[in-house]
A and B are shown apart, each in its own frame.
Chain A
Amino acid sequence: MSRCLLVALAALFTALACSATTPHPTPLAAAPASESLREEPPHVAALPEFVPPVAGRQVLNNGLTLLTLERRRLPIASAAIVIKSGAGEDPAALPGLAGFLAEALRAGTESRTADEIADELETRGATLAVSVDQDAMTLSFTTLTENFDAVLAVVADLLMHPAFKPEELERVRRKRLAALRQEQDDPSRIASRVFRAVLYGGHPYGHTALGKLEAITKLGRADLERFYAAHLRPANAALVIVGPYTGAEAGAKAEAQLGAWRGRPGVTAPPPAAVDGTPQIAVVDRPGAPQSEIRVGHLGLSRSHPDYFPVMMCNAILGGVFNSRINMNLREEKGITYGAFSSFELWRSRGVFGVGAGIVTKATATAVAEVIREIARMRDTDVGADELAGAKERYALSLPSSFENVNAIAGNIASLYLHDLPLDYFRTVAAEIRKVTVADVRRVAQAHLRPAQLSVVVVGDATAVAETLSILDRGGITHFDASGEIHKGPPSP
Chain B
Amino acid sequence: MIFAALPILVGLFAAPDAAPLTIPYERYVLAQNGLEVILHQDHDLPVVAVNIWYHAGPKNEAPGRTGFAHLFEHLMFQGSKHVKDDEHFKRLESAGASLVNGTTDFDRTNYLENVPANQLPLALWLESDRMGFLLDTLTQAKLDNQRDVVMNERRQSVENTPYGLSDEKVMQTLFPPEHPYFGDVIGSMDDLKAATLDDVRDFFNRYYSPANATLVLAGDFDADAAKALIERYFGTLPRRPTPTARHIETPAITKERRAVVKEPVGLPRVVLAWLSAPAFAPGDADADVLAFILGSGRASRLHKRLVYDLEIATQVAVSQESLALTSVFRVVVVGRPGVDASRLEAETQAVLDAIKKEAPSAREVERARNQLVTRMVTALQLSGGFSGRAEMLNRYNQYLGEPDFFAKDIARYRDVTPQSVRAFALSLLETDHRAVVVTVPTP
Contacts and interface: CB of A to CB of B under 8 A. Distances in A.
Interface of A: 1-6, 8, 11, 17-18, 20-29, 31, 33, 35, 37-39, 41-48, 50, 72-76, 106, 114-115, 118-119, 121-127, 142-144, 147, 171, 174-175, 178-179, 181-182, 184-188, 286, 288-291, 293, 321-323, 328, 331-333, 335-338, 358-360, 389-391, 393-398, 400-407
B337 A178 contact: yes
A398 B159 contact: no
A29 B231 CA distance: 11
Interface residues of B, number: 112
Nearest to A358: B156
A5 B314 CA distance: 31
A41 B125 contact: yes
A118 B46 contact: no
B98 A73 contact: no
21 contacts: A20-B44, A35-B82, A44-B120, A44-B122, A72-B17, A74-B381, A114-B298, A114-B308, A119-B367, A122-B299, A144-B377, A174-B336, A179-B314, A291-B156, A332-B86, A332-B145, A358-B155, A390-B94, A398-B97, A400-B116, A404-B44
B352 interface: no
Contacts of B205: none
A401 B122 contact: no
B308 A338 contact: no
B95 interface: yes
B43 A358 contact: no
B266 A182 contact: yes
B266 to A, nearest CB: 5
A171 B311 CA distance: 8
Nearest to B296: A122
Contact of A338 (B94, B156, B235, B370): B156
A26 B381 contact: no
B428 interface: no
Nearest to B311: A174
B220 A397 contact: no
Contacts, number: 303
Interface stretch (B222-230, B241-249, B273-281): B222-230
Interface string B135-149: 000000000111111
Q: Which of A2, A119, A291 gathers most chain B CB within 10 Å?
A: A2
A335 B264 CA distance: 26
Interface stretch (B101-109, B396-404, B418-426): B101-109
Contacts of B307: 175
Interface in B68-104: 70, 73-74, 77, 81-82, 86, 89-91, 93-104
B94 A394 contact: yes
A101 to B, nearest CB: 18
B180 to A, nearest CB: 14
Contacts of B296: 122
Contacts of B46: 21, 24, 47-48, 50, 400
Interface stretch (B160-168, B190-198, B343-351): B160-168
Contacts of A178: 267, 314, 336-337
Given A74-B381, A335-B148, A2 B91 contact: no
A17 B128 CA distance: 31
A336 B153 CA distance: 10
B220 A405 contact: no
Interface string B39-51: 0000111110000
A31 B232 contact: yes
Nearest to B147: A335
Given A42-B121, A47-B119, A358-B152, 18 more contacts: A3-B73, A17-B45, A22-B43, A26-B118, A74-B377, A122-B370, A123-B299, A127-B297, A143-B374, A187-B161, A321-B93, A328-B86, A331-B152, A338-B150, A338-B153, A400-B116, A401-B99, A407-B378
